Amino acid sequence: MRKRERLEATIAGQPVDRPAVALWRHWPVDDQRGDLLARSTLAFQRLFDFDFIKVTPSSNYCLADWGAQSRWVGNEEGTREWIGRVIKKPEDWTRLTVLDPHAGLLGEITRALFLIGAEVRDEVPFIPTIFSPLAQARNLAGERLLSDLRQYPELVKSALETITQSIIRFIEAARPAGIAGIFLALQHATYDLLSEAEYREFGRPYDLRILEAAEGLWFNVLHLHGRNVMFDLVLDYPVQAINWHDQETPPSLHEALQRFPRALIGGLRQWETMVRGTPEQVRTEARAAFEQTDGGRRWVLGTGCVTPITAPWGNLWAAREAVEELRRAS
């Protein structure tokens, strides 16, 4: 099966020749330039031949043009460290302006998408990472976000509106590159940070507007970050797949298969298995996930979050080879 054909069959719960698989990682330093991000992303894909490419820029790509400063200091996950915050007092929430998706660092990532699209054409589906408005607000403000949204809700909402408009403009600019969908990362849909009522007010309306902007794309993926996630709250989001830390927090893959009607992405622990484990442990977890999903029904093998840059390549190869072994076993 071609990659798109395999993914569409997986989403629909139809038979596939083998389970789909995809891993993704950060590209520190390279992710600050469009050409370098595209080159590294494409080299990784050529080597492992995953079923889709999740384009993973650093989280500063959507914030640098508002003045957010960060630096690379060697984080094992590949992320950058923030230097100060843009939002330092409540009034700062109102000072954001809608960004141009073709300018600055945001424009570099738009350029990366066009370079990737020109290389893979319709052979490999690719989706850019979109950090939710709340996630972007958190990186702009740091720890003060939660206290501000409770004390100054209208000011925070004004910023969320601006951020949402910037994201929508970015999606519109990315469509001509040939993206298959978006990877919408939610970092606050967890009971560890917000109540369900708070997320319904400050998260969900903006998430849905972003997904509305991605309407017509065929492979939109939702990522729920962290533990104690609000899984049931997002079940009606118009996405084709959900990804979460399924090996570390409820629901399990088996439980989620009964609750969500489309594809599930997961099965592998990003640290305990992909970094600290062995190839055989990777294969064992892949087989367990295959069994949890009734023989790989509506399932894509992947990690619960980004694969750390320190993961041994033997473990990455094991994940890629596992689906070939499952093809033969089934």
Condensed to tens digits (0 to 9), the pLDDT of residues 151-196 reads 999 999 999 999 999 999 999 999 999 999 999 999 999 999 999 9
Q: Do residues 30 and 37 touch, judged by C-beta distance below 8 A?
A: yes
Beta-strand runs (E) in the chain = 20-21, 53-55, 70-71, 81-82, 126-131, 183-186, 221-224, 241-244, 263-268, 299-303
Read off the CATH number of the domain in which 133 is found.
3.20.20.210
- State mean pLDDT over 299-308: 98
Domain count, the chain: 1
Please compute the mean of the pLDDT values over residues 117-138 and round it to a whole number: 98
Q: Is 131 helix (H, G, I), strand (E, B) or coil?
A: strand
pLDDT at residue number 327 = 86
Measured distance CA(74)–CA(6) in Å, rounded = 36
Q: Looking at residue 47, what is its pLDDT? A: 98
* Model confidence at 330: pLDDT above 70: no
HSE-CB of 210 using CA atoms within 13 angstroms: 31
Domain that holds residue 304: 3-329
Q: Is 123 exposed, middle or buried (0-12, 13-18, 19+ CB in 10 A)?
A: exposed
Q: What is the pLDDT of residue 329?
A: 72
Q: Whole-model pTM? A: 0.98
